[in-house]
Structure 1
Amino acid sequence: MSKARIVFCDFDGTITVNDNIVAIMKHFDPPGWEPIVEKILDKSISIRQGVGAMFALLPTSRKEEIVDYAITNAVIRDGFREFVDYCQANDIQLLITSGGIDFFIYPLLKPFPIPTEHIYSNGSSFEGSTIQILWPNPCDEHCATDCGMCKTSIIRSYDSEHYEKIIIGDSITDFEGAKLVDTIFARSHLVDMCKQLDYPYYAFETFFDIIKQLEADPVV
């Protein structure tokens, strides 16, 4: 019996052309955000700690301005609409697994027929004086990375005996998940990481590249 295909697709820098969190930080430029990014990249703090700390630098009084900028600044990568349609037409389950934030992910994905329960991201609260990030998808007992939005926990929840697992991503947040899947579609930092550990991957620039490769590969 063939396995069902399931896709775990990143959002920032993957579905969108740019990393939306970095774009927000660069635009509003709160003092102290750049050293936090460096600490995330050199792994001296966790992704959850870093993202939470960066958004805590932004006042909730600027909520409307921040949300509007995040939505209007984002550019959807070529071929994504066609990829969503391709998944539907071919009974491929598409999950959005993102370390991004709900206040920009949900509005940007609204034009696409993706069920809300298939979108995994971090949450946010604007109740206090600064933005608080919420973590509804924490690490399970098998992950000690303190991801915030734990992609590996979601991937592990699907039985490998029944699912052919595919990841699409671009960065450090996708690397642990890439170790658990059958097929990796990578760009940017994720390509470098795959090369370092000699992981097989398919490079992509648009979602048309991914569609073409999936059509070429028979279902396991």
Structure 2
Amino acid sequence: MTVHILCDFDGTITAEDNIIALMKAFAPPAWVELKDAVLEQRISIRSGVGQLFQLLPSADAPAYRDYLLERITLRQGFPAFLEEVRAHGWKFDVVSGGMDFFVQPVLDGHVAPEHIYCNVADFSAETVTVAWPHACDEQCTNDCGCCKPTLARRIVNPADRLIVIGDSVTDFEVAKRADFVYARGQLITLCEAAGIRYAPFETFDDITHHLKEVVV
């Protein structure tokens, strides 16, 4: 048995949610209602995120990349946290509802590509479409998009101790499967309502210090 950590990207590894930042900067006002519908669980994550990106013209793809890559900052303590993970021989994967064009460049040099699971933005049509290489399996009916419970079933050994790190509704289903959760934002409220064992965090330094107690 070892520890296997599944970690969200937007608003967790990064200081801000990058899809929200992108929509604020480039999308028409209709994005706000779609965002609220996803967060309030009135529409599925896959449907909502797909519709959000369809609001964006593909021709502006370079501007989207430049805007995000110039602004994205890693949450305090993330590199040191990864060093701690490696020192203990724990497994670590990023499971993200974000898009490849910003998730992969930001994590380059920190996390190997084979340990990054995210969605794929397609700029070949008039507006941006999204490919879902990690869609729900037959055991999940939530239409997640990047289905974190499906990935957990696929890549986590059932004998391992599963730690989930996240911040929103997109992390809730996999949090239900975890032995322990580190939560920010909306995920705190969801964990409390569901009786899921968790600890709040603001930085990865918080997690590094606390994790030793959890895995003993």
Return the TM-score normalized by structure 1. 0.94
CA distance in 2, matches of 1:18, 1:68: 16
CA distance in 2, matches of 1:25, 1:202: 30
Structure 2 residue aligned with 1:155: 152
The answer as to 2:134 corresponding to 1:142 is: no
Structure 2 residue aligned with 1:121: 118
- Structure 2 counterparts to residues 45-194 of structure 1, below 5 A: 45-112=43-110, 114-157=111-154, 158-160=156-158, 162-194=159-191
Whichever structure has more helix as a proportion of its residues is 2
Q: Letter of the 2:100 partner, please give it.
A: D
Return 65-74 or 166-175, whichever deviates more. 65-74
- The one-character-per-residue Cα deviations of 1:9-63 (angstroms, maximum 9, x if unpaired) are 0000000011000000001132411111122123222110111111111111111
CA distance in 2, matches of 1:135, 1:199: 28
Return 55-64 or 193-202, whichever deviates more. 193-202
CA distance in 1, matches of 2:34, 2:175: 25
Q: Secondary structure at the match of 1:166?
A: strand
CA distance in 2, matches of 1:80, 1:125: 29
Where does structure 1 lack aligned partners over 5 or more consecutive residues?
none
* Aligned structure 1 segments of 4 or more residues deviating by more than 4 angstroms: none
CA contact (8 A) 2:27 2:56 kept: no
Q: Letter of the 1:6 partner, please give it.
A: H
CA distance in 1, matches of 2:91, 2:113: 13
Structure 2 residue aligned with 1:26: 24
CA distance in 1, matches of 2:92, 2:173: 19
**Quick one: which of 195, 198, 203 aligns to 1:198?**
195
Where does structure 2 lack aligned partners over 5 or more consecutive residues?
none
Return 193-202 or 17-26, whichever deviates more. 193-202
Q: Secondary structure at the match of 1:67?
A: helix
CA distance in 2, matches of 1:218, 1:198: 20
Q: Secondary structure at the match of 1:205?
A: coil
Structure 1 residue aligned with 2:12: 14
CA distance in 2, matches of 1:29, 1:49: 17
CA contact (8 A) 1:31 1:57 kept: no
User: 1:89–1:133: structure 2 CA closer, same or farther, 3 Å change rule?
Assistant: same
CA distance in 2, matches of 1:217, 1:180: 16
